[in-house]
Amino acid sequence: DGGITQSPKYLFRKEGQNVTLSCEQNLNHDAMYWYRQDPGQGLRLIYYSQIVNDFQKGDIAEGYSVSREKKESFPLTVTSAQKNPTAFYLCASSIGGGLMNTEAFFGQGTRLTVV
């Protein structure tokens, strides 16, 4: 089955540590996105990528980093510089290619907690 897989589902991190969240898709999509969601809040865009080896900062990129070395993978690293990393992280992908009318498909999310 095609889809987006995020792992792990739950992640605990000690303060001061970097942690990497995995996002893999087998939908052959060009565009991929990372969002952060705080309790009862909307989705805020962290980073997005329209094509392999290229990505852009979203609205809240500080303290995060990404890579896009393969079309199917878009890992997110939460660095120690991120002051309040506890949140629900969602990865999404869409066909891309400049198409406006294609919806984004989402993974199941990773819930990160700093302990």
Partner 1 sequence: AQKITQTQPGMFVQEKEAVTLDCTYDTSDQSYGLFWYKQPSSGEMIFLIYQGSYDEQNATEGRYSLNFQKARKSANLVISASQLGDSAMYFCAMREGFQGAQKLVFGQGTRLTINP
**Residue 40 sits in the site that holds partner 1 (CB under 8 A):** yes
Which of 50, 65, 67, 77 contacts partner 1 by CB under 8 A? 50
Which of 1, 2, 10, 42 contacts partner 1 by CB under 8 A? 42
Residue 66 CB-density burial (10 A; 0-12 exposed, 13-18 middle, 19+ buried): buried
Which of 59, 62, 70, 113 contacts partner 1 by CB under 8 A? 59
Contact pattern for partner 1 over residues 69 through 98, marking x by CB under 8 A: -------------------x-x-x-x-xxx
**Residue 33 sits in the site that holds partner 1 (CB under 8 A):** yes
Q: Check: CB of residue 35 under 8 Å from CB of residue 21.
A: no
For partner 1, the closer CB: 33 or 74: 33
